[in-house]
Structure 1
Amino acid sequence: MNLDRLYVLLVCNLGASTGVMVTKMKEIAAESQKLKDVDIKIEAHPAGDILEYIDDFDVVMLGPQIKHRFKDLEILCKEKNKPVTVIDTKDYGSVNGGNILKTAIILKLEALKGE
Structure 2
Amino acid sequence: MNIDRLYILLVCNLGASTGVMVTKMKEIAVKSEKLKNVDIRIEAHPAGEIQEYIEDFDVIMVGPQIKHKFAELKKLADEVEKPIQVIDTQDYGTVNGGNILKDAIIMKLESAEK
Normalising by structure 2, report the TM-score. 0.99
Counterpart of 1:93 in structure 2 is 93
Partners of 1:80 and 1:29 in 2: CA distance: 26
Counterpart of 1:46 in structure 2 is 46
Partners of 2:53 and 2:24 in 1: CA distance: 21
Partners of 1:112 and 1:44 in 2: CA distance: 23
Counterpart of 1:80 in structure 2 is 80
Q: Give the residue type in structure 2 aligned to 1:28.
A: I
User: Which stretches in structure 2 are left out of the alignment for 5+ residues?
Assistant: none
- How far is 1:37 from its partner? 0.1
Q: Give the residue type in structure 2 aligned to 1:84.
A: I
Counterpart of 1:3 in structure 2 is 3
For residues 35-80 of structure 1, the C-alpha deviation after alignment (integer angstroms, 9 at most, x for no partner) is 0000000000000000000010000000000000001110110111
Counterpart of 1:65 in structure 2 is 65
Q: Match of 1:6, SS? A: strand
Partners of 1:7 and 1:22 in 2: CA distance: 12
- How far is 1:2 from its partner? 1.1
User: Which stretches in structure 1 are left out of the alignment for 5+ residues?
Assistant: none
Number of equivalences: 114
Q: Which runs of 4+ in 1 moved over 6 A?
A: none
- How far is 1:34 from its partner? 0.1
Q: Give the residue type in structure 1 aligned to 2:67.
A: K
- How far is 1:22 from its partner? 0.1
Counterpart of 1:106 in structure 2 is 106
Q: Give the residue type in structure 2 aligned to 1:39.
A: D
Q: Cα RMSD (Å) of the superposition?
A: 0.6
Q: Give the residue type in structure 2 aligned to 1:27.
A: E
Normalising by structure 1, report the TM-score. 0.98
Q: Give the residue type in structure 1 aligned to 2:71.
A: K
